Structure 1
């Protein structure tokens, strides 16, 4: 089994990426946080034998041309080892933080994928760019702005999804699905995969890449500290209405409004206390590296041969290496 892990930081991104590769990671992924999601991967592209992925670039505030140029450049810099991971985020973040539009996110994301494919095709084939949709319109590509054919081909497009409509649309139109980290074995097998099978019916080469929250340590003290951080992370996710279906799949749907109310009161320290051991161990892979690997294999068996480890805080290189060894 191959493993993606999180790449944090900026100035030391290349050095850290090399350390993660040497610890056994097959790829590194960045998230849209305090730094630009592409910048660390620009530095990490100098590290050979390591795949790169944005996890995720928030799509709607970006224009398809911007995304296409960034993705194409990283595909070139990495010699074909780049995956463009996209996500919708939630309405509040898109409208209030980015100042962008969020209406009809499934239709908008589907069209954005089509626009990207049209741009990549124009660059690689020389055909005239003529994309006209409801949300995006691209009808001009003069030689000055055309990078020309990419020797490694267009980068694959993966999209993060949770809800059934977007999951099915991603399976129908994208190259891969990024399974959201706030999830469980039951939700993956009973809710996500049926939509994937419907959307990807008749298609070859579609990839399902599960993201799994990991809470691990080599000692009791390390595991206790990791569990405390992970409970806080699960409480943060669980407070969001978008993730209520995951809780509802286990009969925990009433927890979401309770966590949401605490978040609105600013009682962040109290929220983690509502995450029981059962919830913790159902959603996150917890314990020793062997325990974590066992949880991951059980969850993704028959679905994926690559996973992305999602962490409340960076794993030590020793713990990462042990998890990778156990998975292999």
Structure 2
């Protein structure tokens, strides 16, 4: 099981931060659609380290499949074959109101984005005429001036972020990998997520080895009481944010906390973020977040994901010292099955 962590820093600080994170022993670095561009840090990290790099996730629909094809191709070339393109749908409000793009039929659209990106890559890699015509996007022109040709290391894999049934089925059937959503619990992963993956593979006639499964976990890791308090505060805020989103309500229901979702949603609409965090008690925090000192966190990660995933992506919204992250990585590796 490979271990990856979040790369988050202002652009000028990314190379140094990437080097520091790589020194903790992680195998990969990922970014997300946060306060900075999702792809630029990956290019800087690929040039500064030997880590595997990927977007986790890049929001697909505001971007043309051709834009995504070019970015992933160049990142694969820059990294020497150490890159993946992680895509997600995001929720409707953000796609329409933040990005000014179109959101509809998310699973069907994502299927076309995957197909269109691959059609572009076929044109570059194999010289095929570009002729992808779909319901939501069409691409029928690729002249030599815009064709970079094959990429060393081969085309990068496409990984899809998923939580619900339809996106999980799509990712398992069509994509090269599945990014399990970090807002989960041991019970939801065991009772819902992993059975869906197994059933999806069977339905699609695919072998498990054909799909990269990237498990994810929110960490609240402290080496003393003060560090733990700070880590818990950051995690509590994030759980409140996720818990207010309708798409993630099933996780709350699995843990018997479906009644909390409407209140969190109401507070989110009113912009009362601090009050949302205050509603996340320790029981809910323990169910969703992997908490404790580095030894405890490593043991909990193995309980949740050991033997079930190919990569494990971890991040700590309340912060984690590099020394603590290194200890977690070492602990997971020491306890993981060969």
- TM interval, shorter chain, is over 0.9
Q: Distance in 2 between matches of 1:281 and 1:198?
A: 28
Q: What are the within-5 Å matches in structure 2 for residues 112-151 of structure 1?
A: 112-151=113-152
Task: Compute the displacement of 1:48 (Å).
Answer: 3.6
Deviation at 1:225, TM superposition (A): 1.2
Determine the C-alpha separation between the residues in 2 that align with 1:118 and 1:181: 30
Q: Which residue of 2 aligns with 1:7?
A: 7
8 Å CA contact 2:18–2:49 kept in 1: the answer is: no
- The answer for the alignment partner of 1:37 in structure 2 is 38
TM-score by length of 2: 0.94
> What RMSD over aligned residues (CA atoms) do the two structures have, in Å?
1.1
1:201-232 deviation per Cα after TM superposition (whole angstroms, max 9, x unaligned):
33242011011000001111101111111111
Alignment of 1:97 with 2:98, yes or no, is yes
Structure 1 position 267, deviation (Å): 2.4
Aligned equivalents of 2:294, 2:135: Cα separation in 1:
48
Query: Do the aligned residues in 1 keep the contact of 2:183 with 2:239 (CA within 8 Å)?
Result: yes
For residue 57 of structure 1, report the CA deviation from its aligned partner. 0.6
2:322 pairs with 1:321: no
Which runs of 5 or more residues in structure 1 are unaligned?
Answer: none
Where in structure 2 are the equivalents of 1:54-69 lying within 5 Å?
Answer: 54-69=55-70
Per-residue CA deviation, residues 266-324 of structure 1 (Å, 9 max, x unaligned), is 32222222112111111010000111111111111331142000221442111110100
Task: Compute the displacement of 1:77 (Å).
Answer: 0.3
Residue 166 of structure 1 is matched in structure 2 by: 167
Gaps of 5+ in 2: 334-338
Aligned-partner Cα distance in 1 for 2:125–2:214: 27
Higher mean C-alpha displacement, 310-319 vs 273-282:
310-319
Normalised by the length of structure 1, the TM-score is: 0.97
- Counterpart-to-counterpart distance in 2, 1:125 and 1:305: 30
**Over residues 218-258 of structure 1, what are the superposed CA-to-partner deviations in whole Å (9 max), with x where a residue is unaligned?**
11110111111111110111111111011011211011101
Contact 2:182 2:215 survives alignment (8 Å): yes
**Structural mapping, 1:152-231, within 5 Å:** 152-201=153-202, 202-204=205-207, 205-231=210-236
Q: Aligned partners of 1:42, 1:302: CA distance in 2, in Å? A: 31
**Greater Cα offset, 305-314 or 136-145:** 305-314
Moved more, 198-207 or 3-12: 198-207
CA distance, structure 2, for counterparts of residue 119 and residue 126 of structure 1:
10
Distance across 2 between alignment mates of 1:73 and 1:300:
32
Check whether the contact 1:6–1:314 (CA below 8 A) recurs between aligned residues: no
CA–CA distance in 1 between the matches of 2:216 and 2:107? 21
- How many Å apart are 1:49 and its aligned residue? 2.3
2:143 and 2:270 map into 1 onto residues whose CA distance is: 53
Q: 1:273-284, aligned counterparts within 5 Å?
A: 273-284=278-289
